[in-house]
Chains A and B, each alone.
Chain A
Amino acid sequence: MLETFYDVMRRQGISRRSFLKYCSLTAAALGLAPEFAGKIAHAMETKPRIPILWLHGLECTCCSESFIRSAHPLAKDVILSMVSLDYDDTIMAAAGQQAEAIIEETIQKYDGNFILAVEGNPPLNQDGMSCIIGGKPFIDQLTHVAKHCKAIISWGSCASYGCVQAAAPNPTKATPVHKVIHDKPIIKVPGCPPIAEVMTAVVTYILTFEKFPELDRQGRPKMFYSQRIHDKCYRRPHFDAGQFVESFDDEGARKGYCLYKVGCKGPTTYNACSTIRWNEGTSFPIQAGHGCIGCSEDGFWDKGSWYARLTDLKPFGVEANADTLGLAAATTVGVAIAAHAAVSAVSRAKANKSNQPVTAKEQGE
């Protein structure tokens, strides 16, 4: 029989007491009721651990960096020992041929039973040549492994939406995972990177319950992506009061006013930064005095500027936003109306002049 998660943890020298602590903390992080701590413990004691293949496409490894910094107690055990990370080219021991062989081995041993985690995305232009793994385009590796997996986790904004490499004009045609793989369940955990605790919680949920947590319409776990940064932002009272930072060196900035006017994307960004925060709950961008850039939203690189409330639009290749565009249209129409009114008045005056004698004559007859 395969090892259970509990077996692995015990082998790592973790006491039962801290194991149970971990279970209840995870249940709390997932927003589950207290009785789920027992269920998680039971699942971990009885279920064989599920292998995870972690593939890297076009990406910057910030997801991995975030993941291994999970502050959750025992999180590093989740990653490095409990979860069977059979292939993750950033943190695995093997290299070269040996490493690539692990993929085939996992597919053979656990066909249809392993989780595929994807960090980054495949570029499709130039036959996928912009991302080569082990001598082959990443798209080939991805479709091959995806065929045999049970489900897919799309780590980060790259795998979920495309992120920076898919920003306009997207020369390599970097394409998010769900637009390439259509026949497997996919959970998106967007963010650049996603919050470490969110990542470990999602993995724990999937492994213990063998299913995805409840997802929203876009395939994100509802427990972390159902509210906007703005909804839980500690600076929200300043927003409602109409107290804004007008520039980064003003009195408002020093007093910690709302960053809305200097481009904060908190009101349009679904993520858990304002509740879970980063680095053991130390801070998050807004707390550090910089607006949210909306990194967990679709196409956020193209929704700039990050320092203005209104998104830049480029109609006819000219820089503008909704207001400059609208004002230009309104001015054009206004001028046209004025001109048309003037011509109307003149033509009416003329018509009246030429009509009058005629009517007079008619009346005379």
Chain B
Amino acid sequence: MSQPNDTPAFQPAVYVYEAPLRIWHWINALAIVILAVTGYFIGSPLPTMSGEASDHFLMGYIRFAHFAAGYILLIGFLGRVYWAFVGNHHAREIFIPPFHKPEYWSGVLHEIRWYAFLEKEPRKYTGHNPLAILFMHFMFVWGLLFMIVTGFALYGEGAGLNSWQFALFSSWVIPLFGQSMDVHTWHHLGMWWILLFVMAHIYVAIREDIMSRQSLVSTMISGWRTFKDQRKVDDGH
């Protein structure tokens, strides 16, 4: 295929993900791994330790790691929200998806057809593709927010009635769900929800890195989006 007339000058790469966003991505990923593993062991503890209680602090360390990673995740998330305001427009994509635009939904449909092998070729995007925005907005942004709120509600129970965690989260979250055990159960299910996101996220990132018309994995390392052809990008479609 020859180059259409309206193609802009050849652009080998676009700087999409700025440094703070990339750092957040990997710290956040690490925090999620630690949270999932320690969280699992809080729900189903390791085989019992023998000897005196004063010789061990295993559950204490597991819980400490969980809480520390939880704080890192929270602070990272707040920083990420801040970056959505001050960063480039790609930093806002997963927070405020353009649901009001019909062309966005046609883009979603096209992407679904691409995954269903009904399209020969995916569209070309500088930022996230429309389906990725939808997926990240609901699975990830809301999922993470849910985990932060329920997680700090549970943390506030231990921190006590006079703690800010209790005032800010436990005081309304626990009655909202019914009782503490319900919050535990939903927080646990939330872990699996995030895990499903992670599985699909990694698969899709690698698949599209191979099969789509732009770079994916390396972009989250270097920040630069490179393209495999010189045709026009379909951003906004």
User: Which residues of chain A have a CB within 8 Å of any CB of chain B?
Assistant: 216-218, 222, 226-228, 231, 237-246, 252, 257, 260-261, 265, 267-270, 294, 297-300, 303, 309-311, 313, 322-323, 325-327, 329-330, 333-334, 337, 340-341, 343-344, 347-348, 351
Contacts and interface: CB of A to CB of B under 8 A. Distances in A.
Interface string B31-45: 000000000100111
B44 A226 contact: no
B197 to A, nearest CB: 10
Given A243-B48, A269-B180, A348-B211, A323 B161 contact: no
A300 to B, nearest CB: 8
Contact of B188 (A226, A252, A268, A323): A323
A337 B115 CA distance: 11
Contacts of B47: 246
Given A333-B200, A341-B207, A348-B210, A240 B60 contact: yes
Given A297-B180, A325-B192, A326-B192, A244 B44 contact: no
Interface stretch (B97-105, B130-138, B171-179, B229-237): B171-179
A268 B210 contact: no
A250 B115 CA distance: 53
Given A309-B43, A344-B211, A322 B192 contact: yes
A218 B175 contact: yes
A257 B188 contact: no
- Which bucket holds chain B's interface residue count? 35 or more
B184 interface: yes
Residue with the highest number of chain A CB atoms closer than 10 Å, among B43, B48, B57, B161: B48
A351 B121 CA distance: 10
Contacts of A260: 45
A241 B58 contact: yes
A274 B46 CA distance: 25
B179 A241 contact: no
B146 to A, nearest CB: 14
A84 to B, nearest CB: 34
Contacts of A245: 48
A268 B179 contact: yes
B19 interface: no
A284 to B, nearest CB: 19
Nearest to B162: A226
B181 interface: yes
A322 B179 contact: no
Nearest to A237: B53
B191 A326 contact: yes
Most-contacted residue by chain B among A237, A243, A347, A348 (CB, 10 A): A243
Given A243-B53, A309-B43, A257 B199 contact: no
B158 interface: yes
**The 6 residue pairs across chains A and B that have the minimum distance between CB atoms:** A326-B192, A242-B58, A268-B180, A241-B56, A322-B188, A237-B53
